[in-house]
C-alpha cells in the first residue's frame, strides 16, 4: 500500500502530465507551496489581528494584516475578511450576518450556471432561506435582467446575488446594483470564478455597485484554498467579521492566509495582468478550435475564462466524454447546460477553462492542439488502446511546459 506521501507525489506527477481544463483549478506558485508547509500550520490564532484569544501572535498578526491590506488594494475596497475557509462558508457567513431564517434571496439558478450556495434547493441556503431563483433567457441564453427586476419587485428579497460557476458571459454588476437599490435589497457579488479578471481590469468590477463581494482564492486568483469577503460599509464589515468568527468558525488557517497574502501580492504584478489577458485569449482560441470541429458552445463563445460545451450535436454526454478524456490525461468536468433534459450525472455538457494551462505557459497555438486531442478522444471514446496512445502524446505535449 502506498504511503500518504507517495500518493501525494503521484498526484504531483499526474498534474505534470495532465492537461488541466477544469475552470476552477490552477497551480499555485512555489512561494505559496512553501508557506503552506511551514510551522504556521501549528499555530492557533482564534480572533482577529491584535484581538486574539491565544498568545504568541506577533507574526500571525502581521501576516493576516498583510493579506487584508493586499485584498483591499487589489479589489479597491475599504474592508476585507480573509479568514473564511472557502467560498461556500464565505457566502454562508454573509447570510448568517445579514439574514434571518426564511428571509428571501435571489440568485442565478444552478441549471443556468449559478452556484449551490446561491439558494439552490439541495444547499443549506435553499433550505434555511426562501430562495427565488432567476434564470437565463431561453432565446438569448443570457441572464434575463428584466426577469431579475420583475422578480425583485414581486418578492422584495433581502439579498440579490450576482455571480456564477458556469456562465461564459460578462456580468452587468451595475444593473444588479440598480435593481437591488430599487427594491431595498443588498447586492452581493460572488466573483469566485472571475476574481483574477476583476483584479486586473479584464472584467468590470462589482464595486461600487455591490454592497458585499465574495470570492474563493484558489481559482484564477492562483492562491490556496480560502476565500475573501469584501465591502465598503463599516457596519456590514463588523457584522460579517462576527459571523465568520465566532459565528461559524474557530481559529483561522494561518498557513492558508499566508498563501492568500502571497497570491494577492502576486496579483498586483504586471506578469499577473499579462497572465489574465492570456487566459482570455486562450479560451477564445480553444472555443474557436472546438467549433471548427463541430462542437457547440453555449452562447456561441465567452467573455471570461470558460466555455460551456453543448455536446448534443456530437451525440455524446458529458460524463462519457469526460471519462474518456481523463484516460487520455485530459482533465475536464461534466456540466449541465441550461434547460438540460438529461440527469445531473449524465449531463449534455462539459465545462472547460484555461486558467491552469495558461499558468504553465500555454498560448493560442497550444489551444488548437488541445482541441485536436479532444476530437481524437471523441473519435475513439470506446477504444482504450487508442486512448492510451493519445495519453502518451499528451504526456509528450506536456513535457514542453513547466510548473
Catalytic residue chosen out of the listed positions 52, 178, 181, 225:
225
219 is catalytic: yes
pLDDT of residue 243: 98
Euclidean distance between CA atoms 348 and 337, whole angstroms: 6
Q: Any long-range contacts for 62-71 (C-beta under 8 Å, 24+ apart)?
A: 63/254, 63/257, 63/258, 63/261, 64/252, 64/254, 64/257, 64/261, 66/261, 66/265, 67/257, 67/258, 67/260, 67/261, 67/264, 70/261, 70/264, 70/265, 70/267, 70/268, 71/228, 71/230, 71/260, 71/264
List every span in the chain annotated with CATH 3.90.1150.10: 8-23+270-398
Res 212: pLDDT: 98
pLDDT above 70 as % of the chain: 100
- Amino acid 88: pLDDT: 96
Pick the catalytic residue from 219, 327, 334, 351: 219
Q: Is the pLDDT of residue 111 over 90?
A: no
Predicted confidence (pLDDT) per residue in 361-395, tens digit? 999 999 999 999 999 999 999 999 999 999 999 99
- Which residues lie across from 215 on neighbouring strands? 228
Over range 55-72, report the average pLDDT: 98
Read off the pLDDT of residues 237-251 as tens digits, 9 standing for 90 and up.
999 999 999 999 999
pTM: 0.96
pLDDT at residue 349, rounded to an integer = 95
CATH of domain 8-23+270-398: 3.90.1150.10
Residues of the chain with CATH 3.40.640.10: 30-266
Percent of the chain at pLDDT > 90 equals 95
Q: Quote the pLDDT of residue 402.
A: 81
Q: How far apart are CA 189 and CA 177, in angstroms?
A: 10
Phi, psi of 334 (to 5 degrees): -65, 150
Assign 183 a pLDDT band (cuts: 50, 70, 90): very high
Active-site choice (216, 231, 302, 359): 216
pLDDT confidence of residue 7:
97
Active site residue 216: yes
What pLDDT shows up at residue 344? 87
Each residue's pLDDT tens digit, 20-30: 999 999 999 99
Q: Quick: pLDDT tens for 66-87.
A: 999 999 999 999 999 999 999 9
- Check 17, 31, 46, 149 and give the catalytic one: 46
Question: What is the CATH T-level fold of the domain 30-266, as seen in this structure?
Answer: 3.40.640
Measure the CA–CA gap between 69 and 105, rounded to whole angstroms. 30
307-358 pLDDT tens trace: 999 999 999 999 999 999 999 999 999 999 899 999 989 999 999 999 999 9
Pick from 36-40, 100-104, 110-114, 353-357: least confident: 110-114
> Once rounded to an integer, what is the mean pLDDT over residues 176-198?
98
* Residue 112: band (very low, low, confident or very high) from pLDDT cuts 50, 70, 90: confident
Q: Is residue 46 annotated as part of the catalytic site, yes or no?
A: yes
Which one of the listed residues 17, 31, 44, 312 is annotated catalytic? 44
Per-residue pLDDT for 105 more than 80?
yes
Residue 403 pLDDT > 90: no
Catalytic residue among 64, 190, 202, 266: 190
Amino acid at each position: 500500500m502506498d504511503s500518504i506521501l507517495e500518493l501525494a507525489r503521484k498526484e504531483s506527477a499526474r498534474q505534470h502530465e495532465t492537461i488541466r481544463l477544469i475552470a476552477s483549478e490552477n497551480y499555485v506558485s512555489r512561494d505559496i507551496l512553501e508557506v503552506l508547509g511551514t510551522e504556521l500550520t501549528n499555530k492557533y490564532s482564534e480572533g482577529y489581528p491584535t484581538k486574539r484569544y491565544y498568545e504568541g501572535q506577533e507574526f500571525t498578526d502581521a501576516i493576516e494584516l498583510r493579506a487584508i491590506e493586499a485584498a483591499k488594494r487589489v479589489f479597491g475596497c475599504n474592508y476585507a475578511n480573509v479568514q473564511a475557509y472557502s467560498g461556500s462558508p464565505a457566502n454562508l457567513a454573509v447570510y448568517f450576518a445579514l439574514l434571518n431564517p426564511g428571509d428571501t434571496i435571489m440568485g442565478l439558478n444552478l441549471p443556468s450556471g449559478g452556484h449551490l450556495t446561491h439558494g439552490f434547493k439541495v444547499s443549506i441556503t435553499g433550505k434555511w432561506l426562501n430562495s427565488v431563483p432567476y434564470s437565463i433567457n431561453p432565446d438569448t441564453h443570457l441572464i434575463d435582467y428584466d426577469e431579475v427586476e420583475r422578480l425583485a419587485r414581486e418578492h422584495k428579497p433581502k439579498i440579490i446575488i450576482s455571480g456564477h460557476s458556469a456562465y461564459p458571459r460578462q456580468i452587468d454588476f451595475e444593473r444588479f446594483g440598480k435593481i437591488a437599490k430599487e427594491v431595498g435589497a443588498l447586492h452581493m457579488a460572488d466573483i469566485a470564478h472571475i476574481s483574477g479578471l476583476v483584479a486586473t481590469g479584464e472584467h468590470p468590477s462589482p464595486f461600487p455597485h455591490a454592497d458585499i463581494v465574495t470570492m474563493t482564492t484558489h481559482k484564477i486568483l492562483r492562491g490556496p484554498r480560502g476565500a475573501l469577503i469584501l465591502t465598503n460599509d463599516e457596519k456590514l464589515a463588523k457584522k460579517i467579521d462576527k459571523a465568520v468568527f465566532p459565528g461559524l468558525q474557530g481559529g483561522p488557517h494561518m498557513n492558508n492566509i499566508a498563501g492568500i497574502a502571497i497570491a494577492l501580492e502576486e496579483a498586483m504584478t504586471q506578469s499577473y495582468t499579462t497572465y489574465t489577458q492570456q487566459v482570455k485569449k486562450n479560451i477564445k482560441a480553444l472555443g474557436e478550435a472546438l467549433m471548427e470541429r463541430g462542437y457547440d458552445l453555449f452562447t456561441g463563445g465567452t467573455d471570461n475564462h470558460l466555455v460551456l460545451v453543448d455536446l448534443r450535436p456530437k451525440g455524446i454526454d458529458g460524463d462519457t466524454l469526460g471519462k474518456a478524456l481523463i484516460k487520455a490525461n485530459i482533465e475536464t468536468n461534466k456540466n449541465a447546460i441550461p434547460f438540460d433534459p438529461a440527469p445531473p450525472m449524465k449531463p449534455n455538457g462539459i465545462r472547460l477553462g484555461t486558467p491552469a494551462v495558461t499558468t504553465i505557459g500555454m498560448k493560442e497555438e497550444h489551444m488548437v492542439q488541445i482541441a485536436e486531442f479532444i476530437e481524437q478522444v471523441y473519435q475513439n471514446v470506446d477504444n482504450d488502446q487508442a486512448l492510451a496512445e493519445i495519453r502518451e502524446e499528451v504526456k509528450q505535449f506536456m513535457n514542453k511546459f513547466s510548473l
